[in-house]
Chains A and B, each alone.
Chain A
């Protein structure tokens, strides 16, 4: 008995082109999420600058400019509105993570190439914001460490270089070998892997001037900065507890277990948590919602998987840090994990058929 027989009155104030319910929304935006992630990185960056000099700020600036330029180019090629997507802040998050995971004295083109690969290939060629199956920053890191293992492994020691030296290193007018040293992870791996040396964890780390109280000298404080920022993200409800907890606990657990079995060959849990990209990864990389899992149980499995793979690659692999490869490997598994960890729906919790 339905039909369009009666037209609405023409003198009515009712506008029929408006949206449907709900008619109001909580003030929230992708931009505010991304900007808060950037803000949460600031304590870690501050510690970074304090211990390793302002070179990192140059890298962040380089990566940011490259990311925004690549984003603008790709958006215009894809015919997407520039202002809306450039302003969402997602490219900046990728850029900052690239700058923070690359060595701060890496030549400028390394950072720029990495950023371009992340934005153009890992993000936009897969469909742009929200569509990328792999974490763009980790794609950049993995590609660059495979292509330029030497350059990607040269880190400055804490307090060893001034800004001018770093500037020269970044822009290519200075040989960087003279100012770098092996990171604790790198030193440990190299020493323990060499057959002739009778090295143990204690002897390697004890002899290495780059080793601090917990992890790498200075790095442990940067990690504390990331931890503070990460806790703030938790408080802001931008990340949930699942991933950071599962990642850090997973890493500590596997490291602790092997450390108990043989403490001459395997470093302890605190060392693993406070060196390399572990703390940054726990709160800022593993937690990337787009390329990670989303169900509560899935998040635990995903992050614990990343932790386990990170530890395996660090301990037995050919690369000094394993976070990037671990994240990418788990990215592949994320949809499958989500599929098998769907939480029970209201009313179906006792295993009743749906």
Chain B
């Protein structure tokens, strides 16, 4: 099956040391529930879910504790049964060291589920199925945590050519998808079958890097069974060349189909949609078993004695997970994700969330500090390895010089922050940091502009409204005046002059009255501005801004890798 597929290439990429063997020696184990679960409400791209529980409340495993805020959001659930201790601000698993609202649960050890029922997606409308998945908290498990229900939409054409399942897993150290495919291939493909039906996709291509022969073999057996059951040959397992970042969604789509999805375009417009294998597994659990997303497989690797994959309840402190793997004494950091793109955690006590495909323990020996930064010599190595075909050194020059308009001309926002450029730079320039800086500056500038635009619009609307009111008043006044004039005109009927008709006189008075009113009201209106917002309005604006900033923060560091 693998030999039939024609493969395409993406430019650039690097071949770092993969270090994957350490964590594939042992089967996936279930990590024990911790003393306290700290479950952040905001674990996906999109709106921040509203808390549905309060302190003191008993919750069951799988019970919704955070309700999706609108459609572009995703629910959050209690990972086990227990008591809600607090709903409070806790440190988030993000380098920024910011806190956000979390539900803290003390498990009762009974692990008591909510009643679970399969969801008949064939009987339900597509919209209802998507709502169900949204409320089941299913999001992309490749690291980008984009809500899955938003992507399970075939778009304008009503059906797709290809559903791509991403099992490439190109980041060094990470093996959670590898182990998932080795051990639970059948379930992954059952999820893929559901997704294929929802998308009306003609074929399913599962892309797996060829450094995972066991996973490829297991998936092939499962694919044969699934194809036999369906009576077609829609599912194909495709071994793709091992080259980072082959697991970037756009790169994998390119490799498997030859289609390049430009930045800012939907892949469904090109007849393709891409999901991580872990997401397919989660979809199956939600639809067929009625289980919302409450855990995931996490690789614990790096500077540890026993690297391994664990099935981990969301909210489990990373510290507890690391402790299971004998961290070495010289450990100095915990990274969520891999060494190329992972986020350095502000503390090892932050919880495992839906985005956490790997908890990577680092040390100075494993990840030595970069040598001092030298000037760029324009050698062009970065451009050679860029999978987005950018000119990284040019973007670096302009980011450094704070000429952000130029960085955008050089397609800064096509950068997926994969880190290949920084990986090869002979001058040891932290190039990705410069791009993150430039992007955040541009975002900040745009949100300021947006805020100013909103304020201006509000002001203009107010002027418009006042103008309208003014005209209404003026019209009333003029009507009165006209009536008076008519009487006077009737009294002077025989002495009238042909030059000034009563109608003209009335019109003049109307204009004069309107002008006068406008003048006085303008004088009143002029000093009023956005500075006169009520505290409620201001609070509302602030809350909106904060939410925006947070979404941006969450969206920022992720390539849509494996989503």
Contacts and interface: CB of A to CB of B under 8 A. Distances in A.
A352 B270 CA distance: 14
B425 A3 contact: no
A347 B263 contact: yes
B346 A346 contact: no
A345 B389 contact: yes
Interface stretch (B188-196, B336-344, B448-456): B336-344
Chain B's interface size range is 35 or more
A4 B250 contact: no
B377 A129 contact: yes
Contacts of B261: 347
A197 interface: no
Chain A's interface size range is 35 or more
Interface string A101-139: 000000000000000000000000000111100000000
B349 A8 contact: yes
Interface string A10-22: 0011111011111
A8 B91 contact: yes
A1 B100 contact: yes
B379 A33 contact: yes
B538 to A, nearest CB: 17
Contacts of A23: 335, 339-340, 342, 344, 362, 367
A347 B414 contact: yes
A294 interface: yes
Interface stretch (A24-32, A42-50, A61-69): A24-32
B430 A20 contact: yes
A289 B377 contact: yes
B332 interface: yes
Nearest to A33: B426
B424 interface: yes
Given A8-B346, A294-B391, A15 B333 contact: yes
Given A3-B89, A347-B262, A18 B424 contact: no
Interface string B49-70: 0000000000000000000000
Given A2-B550, A346-B260, A14 B348 contact: yes
B377 A30 contact: yes
Given A2-B553, A14-B346, A24 B367 contact: yes
Interface string A79-90: 001001000101
Interface stretch (B130-138, B368-376, B461-469, B515-523): B368-376
B100 A22 contact: no
A21 B343 contact: yes
A21 B262 contact: no
A2 B383 contact: no
Given A24-B367, A346-B10, A294 B414 contact: no
A14 B333 contact: yes
A84 B372 CA distance: 8
A22 B245 CA distance: 13
A235 interface: no
A226 to B, nearest CB: 20
Contacts of B379: 33, 238, 289
A231 B186 CA distance: 52
Nearest to B547: A1
Contacts of B260: 346-347, 349
B433 interface: yes
B381 interface: yes
A265 interface: no
B432 interface: yes
B255 interface: no
A12 B348 CA distance: 6
Given A289-B379, A346-B388, A347-B250, A19 B97 contact: no
Contacts of B391: 294-295, 342-343
A5 interface: yes
B250 A346 contact: yes
Given A15-B332, A349-B260, A1 B550 contact: yes
Contacts of A292: 378
A14 B411 CA distance: 35
Given A12-B347, A30-B377, A347-B262, A22 B99 contact: no
Centre residue among A16, A20, A88 by max chain B CB count within 10 A: A20
Contacts of B10: 346
A352 B333 CA distance: 43
Contacts of A289: 377-380
B324 to A, nearest CB: 16
A19 B14 CA distance: 20
B118 interface: no
Contacts of A130: 374-378, 427
A343 B389 contact: yes
Given A15-B332, A15-B333, A30-B426, A21 B419 contact: yes
Closest 9 CB pairs of A and B: A347-B262, A8-B347, A130-B375, A22-B419, A23-B367, A28-B426, A346-B388, A347-B260, A5-B89
A296 B367 CA distance: 33
Contact of A131 (B375, B419, B424): B375
Contact of B97 (A1, A16, A30, A342): A16
B411 A354 contact: yes
B334 interface: yes
Centre residue among A290, A343, A345, A354 by max chain B CB count within 10 A: A345
B507 interface: no
A75 B11 CA distance: 39
B404 interface: no
B362 A294 contact: no
A18 B369 contact: yes
A130 B14 CA distance: 24
B146 interface: no
A40 to B, nearest CB: 15
Nearest to B422: A22
A149 B546 CA distance: 70
B52 to A, nearest CB: 15
Nearest to A342: B391
A299 B97 CA distance: 45
B47 to A, nearest CB: 11
B177 to A, nearest CB: 19
A196 interface: no
Nearest to B543: A1
Given A18-B333, A345-B263, 10 more contacts: A6-B89, A12-B347, A12-B348, A25-B425, A26-B14, A130-B376, A295-B383, A342-B391, A345-B411, A346-B10
Given A14-B333, A129-B377, A345-B390, A21 B340 contact: yes
